[in-house]
Structure 1
Amino acid sequence: MIHILVIEDEKRVADLLKIGLEENGYQVMVAYDGEMGLRLFRTNAFELIISDIILPKRNGFELCQEIRKADEQIPILMLTALGTADDKLEGFDVGADDYMVKPFDFRELLARVKALLKRRAVTNVEVVKELAYADLTINFERQEVTRNGVPIKLSPKEYNLLAYLVENAERVVSRVEIAEKVWNTHFDTGTNFIDVYINYLRKKMDKNFEVKLIHTKPGVGFILHA
């Protein structure tokens, strides 16, 4: 049985999520504020979390940060009325794995839940401990990145994006592919959050090094190439 924690202060939405998810075979617990959500997370075992951002007592961004301190792997889906690019970037920066804007189609939410759980299952059987390309090394056990021996501090989403680029080194990856494989979401051509994260990575990975690794293929995507 897959256990899901729903953190939503609007009872109508919380009830809709609980009923719909349970009809699809999941077991659901509901919290109506951020503090209650954190308390339930710490005292129960869950495979996935769905959280609003605007919550009483502790907002979803703060909640996500606290959860990430305790568990770096549990999938977190933010479900909120806040739909600007800045809101999405902040959500990903604090550790969210996916982001949906209200109002939402329950069928799409269910598809994203399944995708997040599938990715978690694949991650749990991953045996690769370290990945290297050129002078770049990613240690998956310690979640550490170095280039030419120099430690590079990355946010969770920057780390996941870099890992995907390294896993697909020497191959052009499109924005659509990155959105689906790294964010588990559909690419919205009206937003530029993927380009924003590529720029974040470039500043940390390439700016102080002679050899640039991250390159843009105009109109196509990005490639990690030395």
Structure 2
Amino acid sequence: MDSTHGTVLLVEDDASIRRGLRATLSALGFKIGEATTGEEALTLLRVVNYDAVLMDLNMPGMGGVEACRRVRREFPQMSIIVVTVRDSEEDKIEALDAGADDYVTKPFRIGELAARIRAAVRRRHTPHHSSEEEIHIGIFELYPARRVVKKRGQEVRLTPTEFDLLAYLMSHAGHPILHSKLLSSVWGAEYGDEREYLRTFILQLRRKLEDDPSHPQYLKTVNYLGYVFFDPSQDAPVVL
């Protein structure tokens, strides 16, 4: 498959927005399917092999958040990009918690949206080249081959993107990783400058992994540089 193209399910109840996005994204080389509700989207996903879902949050019926949750439950490896007018941190966290891999706030530039879709399609079709060795750090265990994370022996549910971010940090435990390096390594070169975007994902991981997310013991911030997965068995971090 051409890495710059993909098959995308557009879930949007506004007919004019749907027509405009379909025409524009089709002209850019994407194959577009359409659904007007979350229920219709789930029905289509069961019979068509889409690469990514572009999901509006403000829809009638089950709504975009619940639709994300059900898509993630039924199609664990599907790339879900949320498109929303809500830009508060709480709204973004809610979307990520429901299973979204990415979000774009309205109004947006079509070039930005297309880049996000290309990156999502590429991630889905690119084999993971990180070490397949199990990683055990403190109370956490990470199994790359099975894409499973456990905390004190209990599995923690992560989205594919959350898993990739955690795996990268844990595989470099004790070494602070620059914002730009994390973004380009996990999401792609298109995301290299989006520190607030990365911060939202780190906050979400802390909510799922840390005993006290406001005082993280493992997923630590390195001021002005980036983030580090702290290994209590190692000495002070060394900046990469």
So what's the TM-score if we normalise by structure 2? 0.78
Counterpart residue type for residue 194 of structure 2: F
Is 1:17 the counterpart of 2:24? The answer is no
Partner of 1:217: 222
Partner letter of residue 28 of structure 2?
Answer: N
Verify: 1:89 aligned to 2:93, yes or no. yes
Q: Residue 139 in 1 paired to residue 143 in 2?
A: yes
The answer on whether the counterparts of 1:8 and 1:52 sit within 8 Å (CA) in structure 2 is yes
Contact 1:158–1:200 under 8 Å retained in 2: no
What 5-or-longer segments of structure 1 have no aligned partner? Answer: none
TM-score, with structure 1 as normaliser: 0.82
Superposed displacement of residue 61, structure 1: 0.9
The total of aligned residue pairs comes to 220
Query: Alpha-carbon deviation of 1:131?
Result: 3.1
RMSD, aligned CA: 3.0
- 1:130 Cα deviation after fit: 4.3
3-state secondary structure, aligned to 2:177: coil
8 Å contact kept, 2:174–2:229: yes
Find the aligned partners of 1:221 and 1:188 in 2 and give their Cα distance: 9
1:54: how far off? 0.9
Q: CA deviation at 1:206?
A: 9.8
In the alignment, the residues of structure 2 paired with residue 93 and residue 179 of structure 1 have an alpha-carbon distance, to the nearest angstrom, of 20
Deviation string for 1:15-46 (max 9, x for gaps)? 11111111122211111122111111112110
- Secondary structure of 1:66 counterpart: helix
Letter in 1 for 2:222: K
Match of 2:65 in 1: 61
Contact 1:75–1:120, Cα closer than 8 Å, also in 2: yes
State the match for 2:112 in structure 1.
Answer: 108
| Residues 90/181 of structure 1: CA separation in 2 closer, same or farther (3 Å cut) | farther
For 1:189 and 1:215, the matched residues in 2 are separated by 16
